[in-house]
Structure 1
Amino acid sequence: MSESTSVIPTFPSFSNWNGISEYFPVQKESVWLNYCGTTPVSTYAIQMMNAYFQEYAKFGIFAPNFSEPFIKKEIKGYLSQILHCDPSEIGIVHNTSEGMNFYSHSIQIPKGKRILVLENEYPSNVYPWEHWQNKGVGLGFVKVGNTPDAFLENLKQELSKGDVSILSLSPVHWCTGVVFDMEAVSHLCETYGTKLVIDGSQAVGHIPLDFSKLKVAFCAFAAWKWLLGPLGLGVIYISKEESKGFQLVFKGQASVVNDSNYFPYRDQWKHAADQFEQSTINFNDWIYFYASLKMLATLGFSRVQDRIYEVAGKINDMVHALGFTLESDAFPQVKTGILAITGHKEPNKFQPEAIQAHLKQNGIITAVRLGRLRMAPHIAIEDEHIERLKVSLQRYLANV
């Protein structure tokens, strides 16, 4: 079989960020400010998938530049850089709910204990725990508070009761953008003997997370938010310590070692993280995700985070100048890429649904969550997009 002549596409490093929006066609048609919700595809991911499809058309599953072991190794390698963990601790699933459910149904929690989640948490980090309520385990909610410090005090009060077996927490609140001090959270969990689980969908790729320093048992997150990956792909992390004796409640064709040899049937399970990959995967999504991670790695993961904060800071200053107030006004020292507008100096002018509708008519995509107008920029947002947002908000305010 002859080797493919296709070459894996490269991505420029961009010494500055001017022109990077050209790689995101959605920014030509609109101003996409919902990157913490869903992220549109980049032309780089399209190029990568085209290269893969060309090879797949010629060679099928033997496409030489896109073998499953290679792509899987690359994806895990990039993610291990972001999370500061071993690649063996990372597995690939379809979404956060799937990962959380697999984990939640595979562990043991003593009767009389509690699971604690965040107030107004996203359902993917609530519903997977509800089955425990029928088994004598409580499900409680810790209040967010007005600042990260207030949250830590609320958390300490709950953990000090001594009955919290698991804290399942989003390091960044999906509605307000508040970022929690995860080192302090991890320390509190260790102090009170509570296992820390993380819903990382709003955090991974957005804020620094160092699992070599945080004592995290398990984490699940979506690929299609801050990591610019495809809808329908997710990731799990399970620590080496948590992996000891861990066995998933579900067993599929790909759960066991040497799964490509179908007979004899096997009882030896794969490593814990790989158990979450039950059977045949959507390899197209893997290629898409590989491209997005390769692009972010080329730019520099920490540099991308800094750029998100920089763009968010420009929008923050602009909306303040227009008289708006934000959730983050209560914690200005904390960096976040999620801007939650909470009001205006003229109260009658803050009507979040009306503002969202006005912006959408002008091709600017935002979201409304918990009565807040939420904006979440990424590297594709440049000054011209911020100016367009400013003009649209000015027009809205002038006509209210």
Structure 2
Amino acid sequence: MTTLFDHETVRDEFPVTRHMLYLDSAHQTPLATRVRVALDAFYAEGHEMAGPKPIWLRRVEETRTRVAAFLNAEPCEIAFTKNTSEGLNIAANAVPLRAGDNVLLIEGDHPNNAYAWLNLKRKGVEVRFVQLSSDSVIADAETFAPFIDERTKVISLSHVTFHAGQRHDIASIGRLCEEKGIYLVVDAMQSVGVLPVDVKALGVSVLAAGCHKGLLVPQGLGILYVKNGLDEMQPAYVAMSALANPPADYVARPDDLQLRKDAGRFEIGNFNLPDLHALGAAIDLIEEIGVSNVETHVLALGERLIAHLDELEIALVGPRSREARSHIHVLDLPVQPWFDYLTREGVRVSPERGGVRISFAMFNTPADVDRVIEIIRKGIVALRTVPAHAAG
């Protein structure tokens, strides 16, 4: 396996690697040292200086610029939210939908994306679920084309699925949406920070993601990209921060409710300042390695894992080909006994609907793969478990 960066230097950033075999970054990533340093510095300023808020807000805008560059967007196209779900709900309520319009989703995709749109059924919006034939199938333009009619206004799906690791062909769907005049709303929770995400190349209208997975910060911060020019998308709720002309004296002006033209019209009140300080440090780390190198690294770890699984005749729930995979791999094993066993062995994974989920990050190594395989090999004997299916 080609070394793209210094694994040991990266692992030194994540002390958790000294205490457990952490294979659960699709759930959340552990704290990197430099991210903790940024958080500590923020809290020290608040503790010792009672909060230099103008300085903190200037740093927010610096981080906004960093996030925009990271996604190939403009700073004015980036808003900060609490999490992916808030971003998706903002999008669902901002798109100008009327009774009789319809939205296309993938059946079995993350439920919080579905619920954001299903909530609009009370307004007469129809939600149509497109079914994939298996967890190995990748959605592309041809997946959705047969379900589009003149009342289809939105297609919304995950870039990478949480439950099987499929990497959907967002770019082809984006081209279809542009051709048909349809909004494309993408959940990038599992991809941003792990795979390159270029909002212009993908052709998305709106992209939402939390920052506690590939972007390495604690829970409570999300990013929202809203493509320039979508002025018809209006926020469902408004605070002073959303206004084009916020009153300097903090007295509301009923005759001036003009909203900002940029993505800031979707922001409400105060920011998650600690996490925004942390996000700048996290982007520093990711960019030092290179997100393309992170992608190549985790895909190579996946290839090593799949080769070992084939030897053990353990099937993979999800795609096997490199172009269709991500950092997420679900092993077709009985969930509860195996999750409990791996936990006892000091391996951090997640139970998933199709089996046991292993997800890699920048700090994992080929030795981590070999170690978990040896633990699984012993587990087959200890649990007297015959894999549910032979590897395909």
TM-score clears 0.5: yes
2-side partners of 1:150 and 1:260: how far apart?
Answer: 47
Please list the CA deviations of residues 81-108 of structure 1 after superposition, one character each: whole Å capped at 9, or x if unmatched.
Answer: 3321111101100011212222322332
Aligned to 2:197: 209
Aligned to 2:357: 374
Aligned to 1:26: 16
Q: 1:224 aligns with which of 185, 203, 212?
A: 212
Aligned to 1:256: 243
Aligned 1:144-183 pairs, distance under 5 A: 144-146=132-134, 147-148=136-137, 152-159=141-148, 161-183=149-171
Residue 122, structure 1, aligned to residue 105, structure 2: no
2-side partners of 1:329 and 1:187: how far apart?
Answer: 23
SS in 1 for 2:196: coil
Residue 301, structure 1, aligned to residue 298, structure 2: no
1-side partners of 2:359 and 2:39: how far apart?
Answer: 27
Aligned 1:329-348 pairs, distance under 5 A: 329=319, 331-342=321-332
Aligned to 1:100: 88
Residues 281 and 38 of structure 1: CA distance in aligned 2, closer, same or farther (over 3 Å): same
Aligned to 1:9: none
- What code does the residue aligned with 1:170 have? S
Aligned to 1:275: 265
SS in 2 for 1:180: coil
SS in 1 for 2:199: coil
Aligned to 1:48: 38
Aligned to 2:375: 392
- What code does the residue aligned with 2:186 have? I
Aligned CA RMSD, in angstroms, stands at 2.3
Residues 245 and 46 of structure 1: CA distance in aligned 2, closer, same or farther (over 3 Å): same
State the 1:258 CA deviation.
6.4
2-side partners of 1:323 and 1:367: how far apart?
Answer: 21
SS in 2 for 1:205: coil
1-side partners of 2:287 and 2:169: how far apart?
Answer: 25
SS in 1 for 2:8: coil
Please list the CA deviations of residues 178-210 of structure 1 after superposition, one character each: whole Å capped at 9, or x if unmatched.
Answer: 111111111222333321111111122233222
Q: 2:227 aligns with which of 234, 239, 249?
A: 239
Residue 357, structure 1, aligned to residue 345, structure 2: no
Contact 1:175 1:372 in 2 (8 A): no
2-side partners of 1:107 and 1:334: how far apart?
Answer: 30
Contact 2:241 2:265 in 1 (8 A): yes
Please list the CA deviations of residues 117-154 of structure 1 after superposition, one character each: whole Å capped at 9, or x if unmatched.
Answer: 11112122011112321222111111123344576543
Residues 148 and 210 of structure 1: CA distance in aligned 2, closer, same or farther (over 3 Å): farther
Aligned to 1:265: 252
SS in 1 for 2:315: strand
Contact 2:196 2:291 in 1 (8 A): no
Which stretch of the first structure deviates more once superposed, 291-300 or 206-215?
206-215
Please list the CA deviations of residues 357-394 of structure 1 after superposition, one character each: whole Å capped at 9, or x if unmatched.
Answer: 11111111111222222111101212332232122101
Contact 1:167 1:195 in 2 (8 A): yes
Contact 1:201 1:221 in 2 (8 A): yes
State the 1:169 CA deviation.
1.0
Contact 1:230 1:289 in 2 (8 A): no
2-side partners of 1:137 and 1:47: how far apart?
Answer: 47
State the 1:235 CA deviation.
0.8
Please list the CA deviations of residues 151-188 of structure 1 after superposition, one character each: whole Å capped at 9, or x if unmatched.
Answer: 654322212x4432111111111101111111111122
**Structure 1 runs (4+) greater than 6 angstroms displaced:** none
1-side partners of 2:241 and 2:19: how far apart?
Answer: 42
SS in 1 for 2:145: helix
- What code does the residue aligned with 1:265 have? A
Contact 1:327 1:340 in 2 (8 A): yes
2-side partners of 1:374 and 1:309: how far apart?
Answer: 15
Residues 307 and 76 of structure 1: CA distance in aligned 2, closer, same or farther (over 3 Å): farther
1-side partners of 2:51 and 2:216: how far apart?
Answer: 25
2-side partners of 1:142 and 1:387: how far apart?
Answer: 38
Contact 1:52 1:63 in 2 (8 A): no
TM-score (norm 1): 0.86
